[in-house]
Amino acid sequence: MKRFAFGLLAALLATTAQAEPMATGDLGLVIERARGSVLLVDQSDRAALARIEGLGDLSHASLVYSPDERFAYVFGRDGGLTKVDIVTRQVVNRVVQAGNAIGGAISDDGKLVAVSNYEPGGVRVFDADTLEMVADIPTGGKTIGLVDAPGRRFVFTGWDNGETWIADFSGPEMELTKIKDMGENPYDALITANGRTYITGLFGEDGLTALDLWDETPEPIRVLPGYGRGQQEMPVYKMPHLEGWAHTGEEFVLPAVGHHEVLWVDAATLTETGRTKTYGQPVFAMARPDGRHVWVNFAHPLNDTIQVIDTVSKQVIHEFKPGPAVLHMEFTPRGHEIWISVRDADKVMVYDTHTFEKLREIDAESPSGIFFTARAHRTGL
Amino acid sequence: MPELAYANSARGHPAARRNIWTGRTFLTAAVFVATSAFAADTLDPAALKRLVHQDCGSCHGLSLKGGLGPDLRAENLQHYDVDVLTTVILDGIPDTPMPPWRPLMTEEEAEWIARYLLTPEEQ
């Protein structure tokens, strides 16, 4: 009887320990690019919780979350697709699906994970549970700007051929729609939060190209053609990323290429509404979730600085230098704080977005992308 | 004395160089050559190595296996000589994303990077 009681107590203790609930809504992962690991972080505690290793070459890595915010799918440069369980804090599956990859997306229902590849060029789609390949979509060239779109679709673009393809997985068979003439050398793309507008930035010419995905047969729409005409082109030491949607005034804010400015575009008419001169070649122009401010970082060698632009006045209202090699920024979901990767300081720095005061530094090894789990519920992230 | 470390790594195996270092005349001459030809007082191999992997790596990959830009691992560059690579680094390749790095580095630094890229054991 005594033994039984002891056994019961032990079982109870074990159960209690195991049953400690693990909420993930305020967690995030930071890519440690040189080490091939991700750092699990807690927004509320402003702290690192654990390091998860063995993810391969993460020199240009990104990730998406499962709808339940438990699993992260990490896309590595080496073609690795790694499924990380942030509750148990371990790698639960990993496939090397290509030789050289650039990014990925998860379908709106959370069942499909797609990866865009440089080598072999194209998109491969995997079952989110098992990581078994369910579709292989060769494009014949480097493939960029892969996003999820509503209706179990993925949209992506060819760097070499300037075509945007829509892969529709809503039916029993995948359906491909190909849209030609998007422009010369599209380098990245974004989709608006409502899933309606897909915009590619062009490296080979001034301007951008938009698609209205609500249209039955989307046609390329030229945006700001020749925006840099007559200006001296400046060398681009890092390709910008497109990931910004300023809600205030219903405008996009986008980095220019070869010019030290950000461009403002009316979302309804896709016409220019302004430009703001910036400190350097913008890499990310990220709107705070409320849309009031846009935070901009810059390409090498001016990558130690951040500028904050007010979206009403379109003026730079704050400039500061977090440290050497600011690679990425992530807002908390309501925008009260921003987390900034400062690669060469080996720190993630947390700032108050209203007072611009630094709140915390967190050690991380060559940190790059920061991804909070709230992304799980947003189209295109 | 980073310039001596640099001269060693760039021009021959340290063991082979050691004989030369034994003669003071040669030492002086070697330092003079290193200084004049490579502006060794400003060359910082650690910083240049970092630049190659972190910043060239934006397009060519952290491990130089390629990305938007081509694979830069030594075994794939052997058909280029140092001068060609140095020129590409300094002036870029028109109509491609390869930018001219001349505004950001000296010719000596570009040449150091070209030699570094062509030397597999260095990477």
| Residue B42 pLDDT | 73
The pLDDT, as a whole number, for residue A245 is 62
Q: What is the ipTM of this complex?
A: 0.79
Sign of CA dihedral A323, A329, A330, A331: positive
- Supply φ then ψ for residue A153, to 5 degrees: -120, 155
pLDDT exceeds cutoff 70 at B123: no
CA distance B101 to chain A (A): 8
How many angstroms away from the CA of B43 is the closest CA of chain A?
17
* Mutation site, B62, B63, B88, interface A, largest A CB count within 10 A: B62
| Helix, strand, coil percent values for chain B (each to nearest 5) | 60, 0, 40
Option in B55, B61, B92 nearest A235 (CB): B92
* Chain A residues contacting B via beta carbons under 8 Å: 33-34, 57, 59-60, 77-78, 100, 102, 118-119, 142, 159, 185, 187, 203-204, 235-239, 300-301, 325, 343-344
Residue of A nearest to B51 (CA): A300
Q: Cβ B99–A100 below 8 Å, yes or no?
A: no
How close A100 comes to chain B (CA, Å)?
Answer: 7
Å from B29 to nearest chain A CA?
35
* Residue B14 φ then ψ, to 5°: -50, -40
Q: Which helix (H) or strand (E) holds A137?
A: strand A133-138
Q: Which of B65, B68, B99 sits opposite A142 (nearest CB)?
A: B68
pLDDT at B24 over 50: no
Distance from CA of B98 to the nearest CA of A (A): 8
Residues from chain B that touch A77, judged by Cβ atoms under 8 A, are 61-62, 65, 67
Per the CB < 8 A criterion, the answer to whether A283 and A240 are in contact is yes
Q: Which helix (H) or strand (E) holds B59?
A: helix B57-60
Whether the Cβ atoms of residue A167 and residue A148 lie closer than 8 Å to each other: no
Distant-in-sequence, close-in-space partners of A294: CB < 8 Å, separation ≥ 6: A244, A246, A253, A262, A285, A286, A287, A288, A308, A309, A311
pLDDT surpassing 60 at residue B80: yes
How far apart are the CA of B108 and the nearest CA of chain A, in angstroms?
18
Distance CA A158, CA B4 (A): 48
Which of B55, B61, B99 lies at the smallest CB-CB distance from A236?
Answer: B99
| Cβ neighbour number for residue A214 with a 10 Å cutoff | 11
- Residues A237, B104: C-beta atoms closer than 8 Å: yes
Given this model, what pLDDT does residue A6 score? 53
Q: What is the pLDDT of residue A68?
A: 97
Cβ contact, residue pair B54, A325, below 8 Å: yes
Q: Where are the domains of chain B?
A: 2-38, 45-122
How far is A113 from A67, CA to CA, in rounded Å? Answer: 12
Taking residues B31-52, what's their average pLDDT?
68
State whether A34 and B59 contact (CB < 8 Å): no
Q: Which residues of A touch B97 (CB under 8 A)?
A: 185, 187, 203, 236, 239
Measured between beta carbons, the chain B residues lying within 8 angstroms of A236 are 97, 99
Q: Do A237 and B58 touch (CB under 8 A)?
A: yes
Q: Which residues in A lie closer than 8 A to residue B100 (C-beta atoms)? A: 235
Asked which of A277-286, B4-13, B40-49, B65-74 is least confident by mean pLDDT, the reply is B4-13
Q: Cβ A59–B61 below 8 Å, yes or no? A: yes
Residue listed under structure tokens 């989307």: A218
* Cβ-based contacts of A187 with chain B (< 8 Å): 68, 97
Are residues B68 and A187, on separate chains, in Cβ contact within 8 Å? yes
Asked if B93 reaches chain A (Cβ–Cβ under 8 Å), the answer is no
Structure confidence at residue A59 (pLDDT): 83
| Per-position pLDDT tens, chain A of length 381 | 455 555 555 554 544 455 678 899 999 999 998 899 999 999 999 999 999 999 998 888 999 999 999 999 999 988 999 999 999 999 999 999 998 889 999 999 999 999 999 989 999 999 999 999 999 999 999 999 999 999 999 999 999 999 999 999 999 999 999 999 999 999 999 998 889 999 999 998 888 999 999 999 999 999 998 887 677 788 898 988 887 666 666 888 999 999 999 999 998 899 999 999 999 999 999 999 999 999 999 999 999 999 999 999 999 999 999 999 999 999 999 999 999 999 999 999 999 999 999 999 999 999 999 999 999 999 988
Number of A–B residue contacts, CB under 8 Å: 63
- Enter the CATH code of domain A58-180: 2.130.10.10
User: So what's the architecture of B45-122 in CATH?
Assistant: Orthogonal Bundle (1.10)
Q: Is the pLDDT of residue B77 over 70?
A: yes
Q: How far is B115 from chain A (nearest CA, A)?
A: 21
The CA distance from A266 to the nearest CA of chain B, in Å, is 28
